[in-house]
Amino acid sequence: MSNSDTKPIIMFDMDGTLLDLAFDDLLWNHKLPERYAQTHGCTLEQSQAELYSFYQQYKHTLCWYSSSYWTEKIGVDVLQLQYDYKDKIRPRLGCFELLDYLKQNGYRCWLLTNADQVGLKLKLETINLTPYFEVMISSQEIGHAKEFVEFWQILQQKHPFDPKNTIFIDDTAPVLQGAEKFGIENLLTITQPSSESPARHALELEYPALNNLTELISILENKTFKVSNVKTTA
Ligand SMILES: [Mg+2]
């Protein structure tokens, strides 16, 4: 049995985990309200209030993550807006250092994002994550957001994996809860998803947290994660 058979698969979220959420915050909280106000001839305050009520209504649903849904709903080309500011897309601290380490050490890495397929394409065109991942999935392709256990069930049917020998890292607690419900035991979150917002206190978070992504390397080297691989314990 080769070593990579017993190594955990490392599953990553994209925005707020590998990539700086500052881009998404800028886009959804600042640039979209500005463009919505220009398009509909309203004040910025009215625009913010209307968008906020939409955000509350659709948060954690697949619609929330769909550029085409938003474009239709609010009359602003949201994908174009993302392209207009794509030079603001940045990796998080330690992103490539960690991915290089994982690649060199034979870890299988998967990218699992709630970004829609066109949003994923834009991010991958801008930041070259592709060579590091054997599986890259948008929840749009699965038909359920990562917050729901159905996402994980369908993912496993498409790409078989052992949830007991998997590490999943995501900055959003409801997503980690979905993964936990499915049976993934090794769950990590991120203290500072956006470089423009203050870091969250690790003790206040529901899951163990990384700040610099390279902190995962010592977790892997010291094996301070749970692994119950049936192939080795049988
Ligand atoms: Mg995220």
Residuewise pLDDT in 10s, the chain (234 residues): 445 568 999 999 999 999 999 999 999 999 999 999 999 999 999 999 999 888 888 877 888 888 888 898 899 999 999 999 999 999 999 999 999 999 999 999 999 999 999 999 999 999 999 999 999 999 999 999 999 999 999 999 999 999 999 999 999 999 999 999 999 999 999 999 999 999 999 888 999 999 999 999 999 998 877 765 444 333
**CA 228 – ligand 1 centroid, Å:** 27
Look at residue 228 in the predicted model and tell me its pLDDT: 54
**CA 14 – ligand 1 centroid, Å:** 6
Look at residue 212 in the predicted model and tell me its pLDDT: 95
**CA 226 – ligand 1 centroid, Å:** 23
Cβ < 5 A residues, ion ligand 1:
13, 15-16, 171
How is the chain split into domains, by residue range? 3-20+90-233, 23-87
**CA 31 – ligand 1 centroid, Å:** 19
**CA 61 – ligand 1 centroid, Å:** 14
Task: For the chain, give the DSSP string.
Answer: --HHHHSPEEEE-SBTTTB-THHHHHIIIIIHHHHHHHHHT--HHHHHHHHHHHHHHHTTSTGGG-HHHHHHHHSS-HHHHHHHTGGG--BPTTHHHHHHHHHHTT--EEEEESS-HHHHHHHHHHS--GGG-SEEEEHHHHTS-TTSHHHHHHHHHHS---GGGEEEE-S-HHHHHHHHHHT--EEEEES-S-TTSPPPPGGGSSS-EESSTTHHHHHHHTT-S----HHHH-
Q: Provide the CATH number for the domain formed by 3-20+90-233 in this structure.
A: 3.40.50.1000
**CA 15 – ligand 1 centroid, Å:** 4
Distance, in Å, from the CA atom of 159 to the CA atom of 135, rounded to the nearest integer, reads: 8
**CA 59 – ligand 1 centroid, Å:** 13
**CA 172 – ligand 1 centroid, Å:** 6
* pTM for this prediction: 0.91
Residue 15: closest CA among 88, 91, 101: 91
**CA 37 – ligand 1 centroid, Å:** 27
Look at residue 5 in the predicted model and tell me its pLDDT: 62
**CA 45 – ligand 1 centroid, Å:** 27
Look at residue 55 in the predicted model and tell me its pLDDT: 84
Distance, in Å, from the CA atom of 94 to the CA atom of 99, rounded to the nearest integer, reads: 8
Look at residue 124 in the predicted model and tell me its pLDDT: 97
